[in-house]
Amino acid sequence: MSPAKKILLCISGSISAYKAASLASALKKNGHEVKIVATETALKFIGAAALEGITGQAVLSDMFNPAYEIPHINLSEWADLIVLYPASATTLARLRSGLAEDLLSAIFLSNNFRKPYWICPAMNINMLEHPAVQENLQVLKKWGARIIDPEEGILACGTTGKGRAPDPVKLAELIEASL
């Protein structure tokens, strides 16, 4: 097991958001400190209470939360690793465009790849294969993000193909090996 690290887990709005609880749990079991930032859409898929129970930390989503001074700057400076899991098509487009309209995307800009930034896309295969999404992933990779390929299998819509969020336990093992 690697020395304890500070991992910022960012969750965007995808049906796969529920898997973030398992990822946070696996990272905590490995001794890491985990903070979570979630988009408003992500919190429609998974409740903050479950994530807070696992991490022992409040889930952050509001860029203007008075309890945190300049949260997008402070969180990106705090983290040793930032993981976007799952990454929706909308969030990928927002990151690639440099739009900082929520806490998650403002953290992406303020980090500016000073710390490792991992992106785990998860969406329907047709969305994943769309040229806009593929181009966004290529640009983000070129800028310095590490793209973790989605897995193949039955997707939430019933289609079979590539687009599943990586298995959270396997991803935690990959993170552990890279630290």
Quick check: is 120 catalytic? no
Q: Above pLDDT 90, what percent of the chain?
A: 73
Whether 2 shows a pLDDT value over 70: the answer reads no
The pLDDT score that the predictor gives to residue 55 is: 95
Instruction: Convert the pLDDT of each residue in 7-32 to its tens digit.
Output: 999 999 988 999 999 999 999 999 99
Q: How far is CA 48 from CA 20, 60, 77, in A?
A: 11, 9, 23
- Rounded average pLDDT over 132-146: 97
CA pair distance 153, 25, nearest whole angstrom? 23
Strand 6-11 versus strand 33-38 pairing type: parallel
Instruction: Convert the pLDDT of each residue in 77-122 to its tens digit.
Output: 899 999 999 999 999 999 999 999 999 999 999 998 999 999 999 9
Whether 56 shows a pLDDT value over 90: the answer reads yes
The pLDDT score that the predictor gives to residue 15 is: 87
- Rounded average pLDDT over 125-152: 94
The pLDDT score that the predictor gives to residue 19 is: 94
The answer for 64, left when phi > 0, alpha when psi is -120 to 50, beta otherwise, is alpha
* CB neighbours of residue 121 within 10 Å: 31
- Rounded average pLDDT over 59-65: 86
The pLDDT score that the predictor gives to residue 156 is: 72
Give 64 or 23, the one with higher predicted confidence.
Answer: 23
Residue with tokens 């930390």: 57
The CATH class for the domain spanning 6-178 reads alpha beta
pTM over 0.85: yes
- Which one of 15, 48, 93, 157 is the catalytic residue? 157
Q: How far is CA 174 from the centre of its chain?
A: 15
Q: Where are the domains of the chain?
A: 6-178
What contacts 29, CB < 8 A, 6 or more positions away? Answer: none
Whether 160 shows a pLDDT value over 90: the answer reads no
The pLDDT score that the predictor gives to residue 152 is: 78
Please provide residue 146's backbone torsions phi and psi, each rounded to the nearest 5 degrees: -95, 120
Whether 1 shows a pLDDT value over 80: the answer reads no
